[in-house]
Amino acid sequence: MGEGNERRVAVVAGSRTPFVKAGTAFKDRSPLELALHSVEGLAEMHGLDPGIVDTLIYGIVIVDPRIPHMARDVALRGVLPDTVRALTITDNCITGASAVAIVHDAIVRGRADVGIAGGVESMSNPPVLFNERASRTFLDAARAKSLGPKIKALSRLRPTDLAPDPADFAEPSTGLTMGEHCELMVKEWGIPRREQDEIAFRSHMRAHEATEEGRFEEQIHPLGGVEEDGLIRADTSMETLAGLPPVFDRSASGTLTAGNSSPLTDGASAVLMMSEETAEAEGFEPLAFVRDFEFVGIDPGEGLLMGPGVAVPRLLERTGLGLDDMDVVEIHEAFGGQVACNLRAWEQGWKEEAIGSVPEEKLNPNGGSIALGHPFAATGGRIVAQLAHELERRDARYGLISICGAGATAAAMILERS
């Protein structure tokens, strides 16, 4: 990695489905359908010859047990050749960034010349789970070789066993949800409700402006008549946001609402990456190059979503770059409060030396996850492609990516143009 690479890795194109609210336009589409559509978009929208792709690293967080190897199914059922090396990964909210890193390393080491990194999430279609007794009963009945034993096994069921267990997004290590953890963070860092709402408001206004100006057209592969992201609220206001009730801490001290939190989202994304030499040979103009990246894990008790407070300073120190060198800064907006906390950590120093502040005009200029949505494994690909396009649009040099992750992880990445 870094400046001494013999092979520079280019971000050539990005393709994603529109991002929509869970339970709406894509509720009848499987994760595999969404994933296939994102990869097919690279061929249909950007002229990729699928036959030149060497590797596919594709992620999903809410794994569909019927398709445990999502990446391989994408390769076999879609436009890619059967010979593609396919790897399915799951790394919570930083899955997309991890996929990009794996493809990057494969290209740098010469194991691949062309790779696709991506991810998908269908929050509309999580696996349906049952309690332990019901699960055991169904398995015993399925394994019974005759009708009598099947009936005997099923007779153990009680009416309450037939109610599916709801999906639980609590952290296994703490028992708290990400929102509950973020409430603890904003209290510790003294982040007021208004500041969180301001971050959300800017996200919607900028995403709306970017959509109206067509900045996402090269990235979004329309699906089923849906051509734009479906979560942007162009008509919201600070007054509207201020009127929403808190959802994680319902007491008077609660500040996180549905308005300043990222919504449950369906969507998929894919990023096309090539060695610099291959891009030139194949006639692709790189949008940007991957300069370097950093992944960290921290103690969940110290702030579940505070990983960027460590990852970004370490990345900047290793590359010899400063926060002031960054022309665009893309921070994943899991919550407005999480963004504010990590900005404070960079300004004041937290576990690492202070690195400074980010001017508002450089921060998420096309909106972020609060407005665009957050399909867990697809977010990293969306941010990488969005930043690469923005750097090209501005003819800017450096862009920084910061993504917090459940499990108290984080990813930081620098893209550059030169």
For residues 275 and 13, the answer to whether their CB atoms sit within 8 Å is no
Q: Is 374 a catalytic residue?
A: yes
Active site residue 182: no
> Which value, to the nearest 10 degrees, does the dihedral of the CA atoms of residues 59, 292, 39, 211 take?
110
Sign of CA pseudo-dihedral 63, 66, 68, 72: negative
Which contiguous run of DSSP H or E holds residue 210?
Answer: helix 193-212
Strands (E), 278-350: 288-297, 328-331
Closest listed residue to residue 52, CA positions, set 103, 118, 112, 117: 112
Helix boundaries (H) for 13-79: 31-46, 70-77
Instruction: Give bridge partners of residue 413 from the DSSP assignment.
Output: 293, 401
- Catalytic residue, from 37, 93, 204, 221: name it: 93
Q: Are 62 and 378 in contact (CB under 8 A)?
A: no
The Cα–Cα gap between 404 and 181 comes to 13
Q: How far apart are CA 30 and CA 33, in angstroms?
A: 5
Please report, to the nearest 10 degrees, the dihedral formed by the alpha carbons of residues 153, 158, 159, 160 taken in order. -120
User: Nearest Cα to 387, choosing from 417, 359, 409?
Assistant: 417
Residues 35, 23: contact at Cβ < 8 Å?
no
Q: Are 229 and 18 in contact (CB under 8 A)?
A: yes
Catalytic residue among 104, 208, 374, 389: 374
Asked if residues 410 and 93 have their Cβ atoms less than 8 Å apart, the reply is no
Q: How far is CA 238 from the centre of its chain?
A: 26
Catalytic residue numbers read: 93, 374, 404
